[in-house]
Amino acid sequence: MDASPTPSPLLWTLLVEAGVLMMLVYVPTRMYLSFTEVRRQRSKDKRLLETIRQVKRELKDPLNLTPLAKAN
C-alpha cells in the first residue's frame, strides 16, 4: 500500500473556507461593478441620442435663430 502524504483535514477545511469567503466577496463585487458599468454606458448613450435629436430638431427648423446645440 502506498503511504503518500495527504493534506490534513484542517488544511482542506481552511482551503475550502478561503474559497467560499473569496466567492462571497468577489462575486457580489463583480456583479455590482458590471451593473454600474452597464448603467453608466446606457446613460452615456441616452445623452448622445438626446444630443443627436436636438441637433436634428434645430436643423429641421429653418426659422430657428438659436445656434446649434453644443455637444458635450
Plot region of 5 (φ>0 → left; ψ -120 to 50 → alpha; else → beta): beta
- For 10-65, what is each residue's pLDDT tens digit? 888 999 999 999 999 999 999 999 999 999 999 999 999 999 999 998 888 767 66
In the predicted model, is pLDDT for residue 1 greater than 50? no
pTM over 0.85: no
pLDDT value, residue 34 = 96
Report d(CA 45, CA 61) in Å as an integer: 25
For residue 45, the surrounding DSSP H or E stretch is helix 9-60
